[in-house]
Chains A and B, each alone.
Chain A
Amino acid sequence: MVENGILRIIARFLIPLIMLFGLYIQFHGEYSPGGGFQAGVVVAAGWILFVLIYGLEAGLKVIPERAMLVLAALGALLYAITGLFGVILGGRYLDFYPLLPGKHAAQQFGIITVEFGVGVTVATVVMLIFTYFARRKDEWIAAEQDEDAQP
């Protein structure tokens, strides 16, 4: 779809805005509606729009498949490890109060950290699922050609 000028111009205009909105609802989620789940989905949607316009090859150059798998695991681990820090510093699991001296600062730090983990995991998992479905057709065609080539 690269040769369609209208799509390219509009996507070039929209993708930064979508990414910016994703970051906004990620880090502003404690003041206004939003949070990690929504932000992750919005960022992934921006990337999928990029893939639809420029193709999967270009999209995987932005973020390789291996990086997506690693980041998906790291996001979930960030959540779990933030919970463990509460235990190490003398509280219960996922208790944010011991993390920082101030009561409100500790809660805000904890919430922002775990929401960031949520956002990273959701974004990368959505990208991964889309990648696998989008790649499937080409793989079938390639596999069939291989089979035809064999005697």
Chain B
Amino acid sequence: MVAVAMVFLRVRDLFAAAMLFAIYSLLSAALFAVLDAGDVALTEAAVGAGISTLLILAVLTLTRRHEHVVQGHNWVALLVVLVTGAALIYATLDLPEFGLASNPVHGYPGSYYTTQSYPDMGVPNMVAAVLASYRSIDTMGEVFVIFAAGLGVYTLLGRRPQRIKRRPSNDNEGGHDG
């Protein structure tokens, strides 16, 4: 994954970048599968490697294939990245030890779900029980977010363009990169 991310930074061809993005997603899906998180792995494989890549490719048909080459270095950006990275690494020192039984994640709600979700629901897949029943209102919010996203794309792109201002390079205008 680190190697793919490094290549991803160097590549200027957007089509290759989209493919690398899919490979990265597939690798993280494999990582989730190794960690026994079947639901997350399935989601990552379907959404990250599948649909996101397809949508990126659909957008790529509307734009140019190569990125602009940026001259020089952006030192402010490097400073921001270094400070943020150092802060995150410093924060990991406070994290509890990996896999310790007294970690907060093994505390009240988690242990309740693992022991009580089958007697409560009769549903063997705990993830489905938590998502659809215990945390049902959150999931409804997610559904409405997706619906709102669809409506947003509809309002932006649903109508046929009436008039287009002609420019020398008309396949690189703003306003359709959302």
A interface list, Cβ under 8 A from B: 25, 29-35, 37-38, 41-42, 44-45, 48, 69, 72-73, 75-76, 79-80, 83, 93-94, 96, 103-105, 107-108, 110-111, 114-115, 117-118, 121-122, 124-126, 128-130, 132-137, 139-140, 142-144, 147
Contact = CB atoms under 8 A, between A and B. Distances in A.
Interface string B39-52: 10111001100110
A143 B54 contact: no
A128 B154 CA distance: 8
Interface residues of B, number: 51
10 contacts: A30-B124, A34-B39, A38-B43, A42-B46, A107-B129, A114-B139, A117-B143, A129-B150, A132-B158, A133-B58
A37 B139 CA distance: 10
B160 A32 contact: no
B61 interface: yes
Interface in B10-42: 38-39, 41-42
Given A32-B38, A45-B50, A130-B58, A107 B120 contact: yes
Nearest to B152: A129
B54 A35 contact: no
A110 B133 contact: yes
Contacts of A135: 157
B1 interface: no
A42 B43 CA distance: 10
Contacts of A108: 121-123
B136 A114 contact: yes
A128 B153 contact: yes
Nearest to B135: A94
Describe B's contact surface by its main secondary structure.
helix
Contacts, number: 163
A132 B143 CA distance: 20
A132 B46 contact: no
B38 A35 contact: no
Contact of B150 (A32, A72, A111, A118): A72
Contact of A41 (B50, B123, B143, B162): B50
Nearest to B121: A107
B161 A143 contact: yes
Interface in B138-159: 139-140, 142-144, 146-147, 149-150, 153-154, 156-158
Nearest to A114: B132
Nearest to A113: B132
Contact of B163 (A114, A128, A143): A143
B176 interface: yes
Nearest to B38: A33
Contact of A115 (B38, B120, B128, B150): B128
